[in-house]
């Protein structure tokens, strides 16, 4: 059972609710967010006595939830959530394409990518400024300089910036220069970072960990939601299996599974999911057909010269073809392409 | 390098070819099929001397192939294979739907399933007569009686029968009563059975093993092909991963991977792949969008009373909806729906 | 609940028991073995009425078993089973080493291997005559000729032969020339073969499938047991995971898991489990320390010239060291080394 | 090729070395640590020109390394590293046992655990003060209060404290109150945290990620080493596979694989690796037999009342038995038990 304290509730009201829950014999886990506070009450099997809290001042709702994730659950919200990012909608009936290079490498490169997105009507420019690299000897990203270049390209071509955060200490610059904060697969259970993202003011694109079950993935989303940030976009990007023909195994089964249990938007990333440019378009189509709310795709003006992830990056012409195929498929399925 | 001895070649011609290959310093693995004999020559890196065999009597072709699978390879045949099953085509630009129950349970049940297929225009009726069950105490199938019931339903409603073989000793009845012989995931590396299927006269639907890499899967197909049966249909049906939200993980990445390397048709089985009826339609759509040549789907007149696989079986009305959605999607992608 | 009909029961007694079970409202799956017949009764939750069958003529025992595997279960037999193979014991407090090449290649090779085993006191000579190979173009074994060579080597050096069966049609020669029939990982759910092995007269070494859960593995053993062959030896040989540093992932966790649920002996195969000779000895030690009843190890007089599995085969001197280390460890743990 | 700038080198010397490397046509990745600076030179295949740097002032060594991990590699150091933690040695010929509860819950609980360790001669007390929990509604640890209780117990019973860090912002208190800083599986590719740990002054116990290959695991260690902290202890704790009989699959194959490539100590954690107390002792023994340098084991005075990980925690009496069995096995293998 969760008790939601509404916007504008006072500390006294919250403390009164906590006191009442404890008097009724339950333990309380309060999650105090910027916008909203949630009191998770655990204890007896019989949760009916908690219903009485609905009449208390400051309490917005008392919600019985059986799933371990609460705010992410379809039981908590039974309509599909759409998230507004500067006028571009993600989720519900909308279909979203995000594109760009693995890493921001130079002004020329990112401006070129921005121009491609603008020309194709792709509203989101993705690119890494802080890079989580397996090797400490690999290129670690242009950092704040990269963020500024992303912003410059986005402003020039009227795009929204999606970029990855890798440290709790980088929230400020990420918020300043970008529109969506990505948490990557390797940080999908970095709970300190999830909590920080939950306290931030911009939407979070949360990628599934490569060994994370769908349920654990939704629990990671719950960390962000429970801190008060309601704008979470999920992204399937491939799991680790025995198969070596692809770099990871893009698990499209996760799409209908998530949609049956959770109201948040779900994107798929066929670039990281397959690790090979030649399979990206087919799997982007498949993701949309499975019901995903969009795709995140890596392209690069010159994949053979890319500092990272060249083999999985499309050339601009192939990316244009992907945008075309995905758009037609989405229309065939009755989606609104952003 | 493989040397293909054409139809009608004599034993003397074959022996002469083998002798020449050995004289040139290579080892020979002859695969003597009913229709055709293939001589795989292995040895030195330099294979150019073998080209001279093209001029020998009885030799159809000398083909350099780098992949470990030869006859299944796109290098061996660079157009997509289509297989004719009593007038219904599988592969190339055709889109095929197969449907039916997990197991044949009774005359009433299978006749009802046949009627549903006929009404929906589904040309293939699937159903198990010999069942590979994890437990020896589970229902093992109606065996030959089940085959006869399948044939009866197919004849009544003008359908083709697809059914599984589980023992090398059952080839005769399977050939007599069915049109496509299925080899299931658990027998995907039962090489004795693969060889027998390669010597049979009907097309083989080969399912991927649950721990088989795509390359190993194509090697299993090669066993059938190398015995002379050219009519092999591949089927992705889910692999084993850590994820428990689905029974298996339907690996749609395998579809574009196979299509890039192999000329054989590829179907997907979203019923076994997910193990849950509620995800079947979404993953059937996704399979088609990924480029698969069709789907194999379990339905049952009364899933709650099914002897096996009830949870993953669609009701007829849901199956009708799947057929409708898959057909529309296939048309949107320019496929001919059989 | 299972009802065991004892040795010497009559068909009338069996039919009477089946009739009674059905009268009580349960369904019966009779497994009619050579030695013993088992009646599995399934139906209501309440199984107490079945207890009355204990007083019927011919009934040996009525055993309530919750696990899906019955005869393999520790509930069925609460002491550890030891299997006598021509005087060499496997299981219980005994520690068994089996060694030999992947495949029988020639008389000289297998006689040399036999001599090595004899010199080291290793009582079991393993070697493949029928080889399950991923590629149809790879060496498929010397077949019956290989079996005869194995027998010759074993007779010369007073050893027992362990060899793999790959087809239901090869039971007779395997029984004639060998002492233990191995069913390999790729046939671990070839139920037709498991049933045939259950009807054979020699012990079966059953390897775990590379994607088989422990529970499914024990269900495969149950197929053999339920056909009347009580002499089943289990063998962990590595599962498929994402890790590529080893060919498979030898899953030693399976050893204590099996020992907590099942009375049959368990061996480990570190050669196939790791795929690399340099890790074999460490993992053989680890298997023994985990509680395994022995190890199956590949060695070859000249690994660099081996037709198959050379990289995972030990040289005789390294094999001698393994035997020495395993023996010392087993003694430290209070085991009797055969 | 890596160029190691020795202790006491000047900034001018470093800059000169960098300049020379670039003049020779290579790119430089300098990793500037507290103790030591490493210059990784990448570029041409031919690295011989770099040998001349050995004669430059401040350069300690020029080392050719083929593996992607450098400082962790056996090529960099060909003897086994032993790490001194307040007089208790980890690695080389030493065998180390660490024990304690999953989480610090109360003064009484952790003092009791400390007493058990002291009585059994176990030199390291482990326990979590900052807990990485899948659910935001689960107990998140006593935080700094927990650290103080750990220190109190360790000081009372002359033990060393091992505890987990989950945020880059907690380095200071962790360093103040503990002796070994643990980085858990979920943060194994949290590169920001790895770098911070590399700048800290205490040894780091790095756990393998649940989907991390051994090579990636060693790359994570390289992040710590390359920042100047040489005291890294590796720990295998189970990977994600399809098997559900155990919570994770403790991958003991990783032990000999790591030992063949890397000089750092390797421990195993059979508690998290199996998730079930009944398999912990067998797998602890197996880990030692595989060559591990020690074990990390969870025990709890009252597992049934544990706030977290109760099912995998041993009772003190069972832990005593484990210590006894592991000690005997280690002695049998010629190890010095700390």
User: What pLDDT digit, counting tens, does each position of C247-269 carry?
Assistant: 999 999 999 999 999 999 999 99
Flag whether residue A193 sits within 8 Å of chain D, measured between CB atoms.
yes
Stretch (H or E) spanning A100 = strand A94-100
Residues from chain B that touch C69, judged by Cβ atoms under 8 A, are: 135
| A190 close to D (CB below 8 A) | yes
**Residue of chain D nearest C274, judged by CA positions:** D253
Report pLDDT for D34: 61
Facing residues of C206 across strands?
C183, C234
- Provide the 3-class DSSP secondary structure of residue C82: strand
Nearest CB to A189; choose among D40, D167, D186:
D186
- For the ranges B29-38, B233-242, C46-55, the maximum mean pLDDT occurs at B233-242
**Given CB atoms, is D240 within the 8 Å cutoff of chain B?**
yes
Nearest CA in chain A to C247: A242
pLDDT at C250: 98
The proportion of chain C whose per-residue pLDDT surpasses 90, expressed as a percent, equals 74
What is the model's pLDDT at position C232? 98
- Residue A262 phi, psi (nearest 5): -145, 145
Picking from C31, C193, C211, the nearest residue to B136 by CB comes out as C31
Between chains, do C289 and D329 touch, taking CB under 8 Å as contact?
A: yes
**A–B interface: beta-carbon pairs under 8 A:** 125
B43 interface with A at CB cutoff 8 Å: no
Q: C193 and chain B: CB distance < 8 Å anywhere?
A: yes
Q: Could you tell me if A44 lies within 8 Å of chain C, comparing CB atoms? A: no
pLDDT in tens, D185-197: 999 999 999 999 9
Query: Given CB atoms, is C253 within the 8 Å cutoff of chain D?
Result: yes
Burial of B172 (0-12, 13-18, 19+ CB in 10 A): exposed
Read off the pLDDT of each residue in C98-114 and give the average, rounded to a whole number.
97
Minimal-distance CA residue of chain C relative to A242 = C242
Tens digit of pLDDT for each residue in C234-250?
A: 999 999 999 999 999 99
Q: Mapped to the 3 state alphabet, what secondary structure does chain B carry? A: CEEEECCCCCHHHHHHHHHHHHHCCCEEEEEECCCCEEEEEECCCCCHHHHHHHHCCCEEEEECCCCCCCCCECCCCCCCCEEEECCEEEECCEEEEEEECCECCCHHHHHHHHHHHHHHCCCEEECECCCCCCCCCCCCCCCHHHHHHHHHHHHHHCCEEEEECCCHHHHHHHHHHCCEEEECHHHCCCHHHHHHHHHCCCCEEEECCCCCCHHHHHHHHHHHHHCCCCCEEEEECCECCCCCCCCCECCCCHHHHHHHHECCCEEECHHHHHCCHHHHHHHHHHHHHHCCCEEEEEECCCHHHCCCCHHHCECHHHHHHHHHHHHHHHHHCCCEEC
Report pLDDT digits (tens) over A158-207.
999 999 999 999 999 999 999 999 999 999 999 999 999 999 989 999 99
Collapsing DSSP states into helix, strand and coil, what is residue D204?
strand
Quick one: pLDDT band at residue B245, thresholds 50, 70, 90?
A: very high
Contact call for C190 and B190, based on CB within 8 A: yes
Q: Measure CA C66 to chain center.
A: 24
CA distance B304 to D132: 42
Contact C279, C246 (CB under 8 A): yes
For residues D69 and A128, which has the higher predicted lDDT (pLDDT)? A128
Whether C14 contacts C22, CB under 8 Å: no
Interchain proximity A278–B288, CB inside 8 Å = no
Backbone angles phi, psi at D224, to 5 degrees: -70, -50
Q: Is the pLDDT of residue B267 over 90?
A: yes
Assign A33 a pLDDT band (cuts: 50, 70, 90).
low
B27 touches chain D (CB under 8 A): no
Mean pLDDT of C116-141: 93
**Chain B CB contacts of D241 below 8 Å:** 242
Three-class secondary structure of residue D103 per DSSP: strand
Which of the other chains make 3 or more beta carbon contacts under 8 angstroms with chain D? A, B, C
The 3-class SS string of A165-191 reads CCCHHHHHHHHHHCCEEEECHHHCCCH
CB contact under 8 Å between A219 and D136, yes or no, is yes
| Chain C touched by D321 (CB under 8 Å) | no
Is A211's CB within 8 Å of D216's CB? no
Task: Report how far apart, in Å, the C-alpha atoms of C3 and of each of B171, C30, C47, C232, D238 are.
Answer: 35, 9, 12, 21, 40
Residue C39: which pLDDT band, with cuts at 50, 70 and 90?
confident
> Does residue B210 sit at the A interface (CB-CB below 8 Å)?
no
Determine the pLDDT at residue D35.
Answer: 66
Contact C250, D252 (CB under 8 A): yes
Mean pLDDT in residue range C65-86: 88
Q: Does C244 touch chain A (CB under 8 A)?
A: yes
Of B253, B272, B300, nearest in space to B117 by CA: B300
A290 in reach of chain B (CB within 8 A): yes
Q: Which residues contact A190 (CB under 8 A, 6 or more apart)?
A: A183, D166, D186, D187, D190, D193
Which chains would you list as touching B if contact means 3+ CB atom pairs under 8 Å?
A, C, D
Q: Nearest-CA residue of chain A relative to B288?
A: A286
> pLDDT category, A92, cuts 50, 70, 90?
very high
* pLDDT exceeds 70 at position A45: no
Residues of A in contact with B236 (CB under 8 A): none
Residue D225: closest CA among D189, D261, D254, D200 = D200
Using CA coordinates, name the residue in chain C closest to A244: C242
Put simply, whether A137 touches C (Cβ < 8 Å) is no
Angstroms from A273 CA to nearest CA on chain C: 15
Q: Indicate whether this model's pTM tops 0.90.
A: yes
> Is D244 in Cβ contact with B240 (below 8 Å)?
no
DSSP letter, residue B336? E
Task: Suggest the residue from C242, C248, C249, C275 to mutate for an interface test with chain A (most A CBs closer than 10 A).
Answer: C242
What integer pLDDT is reported at residue D27 of this predicted model? 80
SS3 of residue D228 by DSSP = coil
d(CA D208, CA D284): 17
In whole angstroms, give the CA distance from residue D171 to residue D178.
10
Q: Distance, in angstroms, between D18 CA and closest chain C CA?
A: 35
**Mean pLDDT across C6-18:** 89
Q: Report in angstroms the alpha-carbon separations of B213 from A154, B184, C17, C157.
A: 42, 15, 48, 41
Q: Is the minimum CB–CB distance between B329 and chain A shorter than 8 Å? A: yes
Helix, strand, coil percentages in chain A from 3-state DSSP, rounded to 5:
40, 20, 40
Q: What structural domains and CATH numbers belong to chain B?
A: 2-63 (3.30.70.1140), 82-337 (3.20.20.70)
Distance from CA of C325 to the nearest CA of B (A): 33
Cβ–Cβ of B190/C191 closer than 8 Å?
A: no
Strands (E) located in C159-248? 160-164, 180-183, 204-207, 232-236
Q: Mutate one of A240, A248, A278, A289 to test the B interface: name it (highest B CB count within 10 A).
A: A289
* Local confidence band at A138 (pLDDT 50, 70, 90 cut-offs): confident
Q: What percent of chain B has pLDDT over 90?
A: 74
Please give the mean pLDDT across all residues of chain C: 93
pLDDT at D33: 65
> Does residue C33 carry a pLDDT above 70?
no
Q: Which residues of A touch D133 (CB under 8 A)?
A: 191
pLDDT at B261 exceeding the cut of 90: yes
Is D40 in contact with A137 (Cβ distance < 8 A)?
yes
Is B216 in Cβ contact with C134 (below 8 Å)? yes
Residues of B with Cβ-Cβ distance to A244 under 8 angstroms: 213
pLDDT tops 80 at residue D338:
no
Residue A135 makes CB contacts below 8 A (sequence gap 6+) with D68, D69, D219, D222
Q: Is D4 on the interface with A (CB under 8 A)?
A: no
Judged by CB atoms closer than 8 Å, whether chains meet at B257 and A239 is answered as no
Q: Is B24 on the interface with C (CB under 8 A)?
A: no
Which of A37-46, A68-77, A173-182, A307-316 holds the top average pLDDT? Answer: A173-182
Chain B residues within an 8 Å CB radius of A215: 245
Q: Does D245 touch chain B (CB under 8 A)?
A: no
Confidence of residue D46 (pLDDT cuts 50, 70, 90): confident
ipTM score of complex: 0.90
The reply to whether B209 touches chain C by the CB within 8 Å rule is yes
pLDDT on residue A49: 84
Q: Which of C134, C141, C168 to mutate to test the interface with B (most CBs of B within 10 A)?
A: C134
Q: What is residue C34's predicted lDDT score, i.e. its pLDDT? A: 61
Mutate to test the interface with B, among C136, C141, C184, C307 (most CBs of B within 10 A): C136
Specify the pLDDT at position B52. Answer: 87
Answer whether residue B310 shows pLDDT above 90. Answer: no
Euclidean distance between CA atoms C151 and C111, whole angstroms: 10
Touching subunits for chain C (3+ Cβ pairs under 8 A): A, B, D
D134/A189 touch (CB, cutoff 8 Å), yes or no: yes
| pLDDT for residue A34 | 62
Q: Is the pLDDT of residue B11 over 70?
A: yes
pLDDT tens column, D316-335: 999 999 999 999 999 999 99
Classify D305 as helix, strand or coil. helix
């Amino acid at each position: 059972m969760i008790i939601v304290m509404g916007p504008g509730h006072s500390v006294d009201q919250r403390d009164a609710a906590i006191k009442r829950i404890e008097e009724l014999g339950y333990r309380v886990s309060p999650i105090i967010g910027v916008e909203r506070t949630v009191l998770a009450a655990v204890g007896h099997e019989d949760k009916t006595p908690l219903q009485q809290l609905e009449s208390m001042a400051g309490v917005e709702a008392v919600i019985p939830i059986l799933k371990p994730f609460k705010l992410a659950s379809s039981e908590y919200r039974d309509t599909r959530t759409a998230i507004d990012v500067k006028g571009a909608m993600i989720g519900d009936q909308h279909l979203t394409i995000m594109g760009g290079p693995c890493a921001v490498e130079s002004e020329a490169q990112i401006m070129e990518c921005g121009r491609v997105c603008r020309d194709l009507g792709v509203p989101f420019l993705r690119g890494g400024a802080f890079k989580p690299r397996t090797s400490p000897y690999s290129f670690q990203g242009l950092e704040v300089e990269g963020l500024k270049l992303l912003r410059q390209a986005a402003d020039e071509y009227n795009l929204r910036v999606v970029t990855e955060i890798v440290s709790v200490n980088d929230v400020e610059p990420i918020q300043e220069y970008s529109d969506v904060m990505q948490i990557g697969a390797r940080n999908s259970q970095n709970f300190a970072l999830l909590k920080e993202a939950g306290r931030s003011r911009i939407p979070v694109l949360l990628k599934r960990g490569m060994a994370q079950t769908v349920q654990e993935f939704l629990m990671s989303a719950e960390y962000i939601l429970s801190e008060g940030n309601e704008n979470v976009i999920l992204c399937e990007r491939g799991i680790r299996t025995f198969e070596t023909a692809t770099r990871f195994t893009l698990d499209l089964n996760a799409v209908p599974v998530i949609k049956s249990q959770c109201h948040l938007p779900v994107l798929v990333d066929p670039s990281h999911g397959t690790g090979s440019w030649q399979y990206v378009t087919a799997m982007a189509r498949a993701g949309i057909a499975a019901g995903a709310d969009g795709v995140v795709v890596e392209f690069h003006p010159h994949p053979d010269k890319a500092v990272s992830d060249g083999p999985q990056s499309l050339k601009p012409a192939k990316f244009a073809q992907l945008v075309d195929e995905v758009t037609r498929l989405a229309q065939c399925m009755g989606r609104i392409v952003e």
